[in-house]
Amino acid sequence: MDIGRAAFITELVCGVMEVVGKSNIADYFLVLRLVDPQGIDTTSSTVEWALAELINNPEKMAKAQDELEEVLGKDRLIQEVDISKFPFLQAIVKETLRLHPPAPFLLPHKAETEVEMCGFTVPKNAQILVNVWAMGRDSSIWTNPDLFMPERFLEQDIDFKGQYFELIPFGAGRRICPGLPLANRMVHLMLASLVHFFNWKLADEMNPENMDMSETFGLTLHRAKPLRAIPIRV
């Protein structure tokens, strides 16, 4: 791990400790385990889905590889400062989080008071689950919602940092995921490295067209069948 990354993680942990100081530590770790059972569950699931979608859509994979090679050449490793130079890579991550949000219902919230919203009454103390998975597949928000089309994010200036309510895989507002800045960097860096230096072949002689892209639902969302792919050094 490089010094910059280590300093960043230390800073994040300190920030988290501040939060813990103001709340119940047992609840905090319970939530942390639920959201991120092994510390990287949500992050690794995002990278796995992004890679699966790229293998399933070879022309998008080629476009991502071209973009990386144009800026980095054949040998240079991507650094954190480079991420902003890759609009298509960023669009791939957004599109992956739209289609496969690792926390499909965010975390349960509770209404502190009765609220009127869009003609509905949400009673005090009601438990609220926000179905971001369904929002990502809603045809009144997205054209061809079931298709993996990263290009849609090249045409519109939307990110997932809580300002655009059509795309909130990390939640929004006060309870937004505190790991967002770290996850954002990790997903881009991991995915870019995997795609820049390797071509990918599916195991067991499978073709991209008959890949199983089904999901398992729970508090977190995963691939029903883990991605089995073989890296081939470019």
Residue ranges of the binding site for heme? 177
Question: Smallest distance, Å, CB 46 to ligand HEM?
Answer: 4
75 class by beta-carbon count within 10 Å (0-12 exposed, 13-18 middle, 19+ buried): exposed
CB 137 within 8 A of CB 101: no
Measured between alpha carbons, how far is 87 from 64 in angstroms, rounded to an integer? 9
Residue 114 CB, nearest approach to ligand HEM (Å): 20
Nearer to ligand HEM, 42 or 56 (CB): 42
Nearer to ligand HEM among residue 79 and residue 131 (C-beta): 131
Cβ contacts of residue 42 below 8 Å, gap of 6+? 35, 36, 102, 103, 179, 183, 220
User: Which lies closer to ligand HEM via its Cβ, residue 180 or residue 213?
Assistant: 180
Q: What is the CA radius of gyration of the chain?
A: 19
Q: Are 177 and 220 in contact (CB under 8 A)?
A: no
- Choose between 182 and 206: whose C-beta lies nearer to ligand HEM: 182
Closest distance between ligand HEM and the C-beta of residue 32, in Å? 5
**Footprint on this chain of ligand HEM (rule: CB under 6 A):** 31-32, 35-36, 42-43, 46, 102-103, 106-107, 169-171, 175, 177-179, 182-183, 187
Binding site members: 177
Token pair, residue 70, equals 């144009």
Residue 25 vs 62, nearer CB to ligand HEM: 25
Minimum CB separation of residue 85 from ligand HEM in Å reads 21
Closest residue by beta carbon to ligand HEM: 179
C-alpha 229/C-alpha 200 separation (Å) is 6
Hey, CA dihedral for 174, 175, 176, 178, is it positive or negative? positive
Least Å from the CB of residue 210 to ligand HEM: 28
E strand or H helix at 35: helix 25-35
Distance CA 66, CA 88 (A): 10
Minimum Å gap between C-beta 8 and ligand HEM is 11
Identity of the residue, 7 or 230, whose beta carbon is nearer to ligand HEM in the bound complex: 7
Copy the structure tokens of residue 54.
């790229």
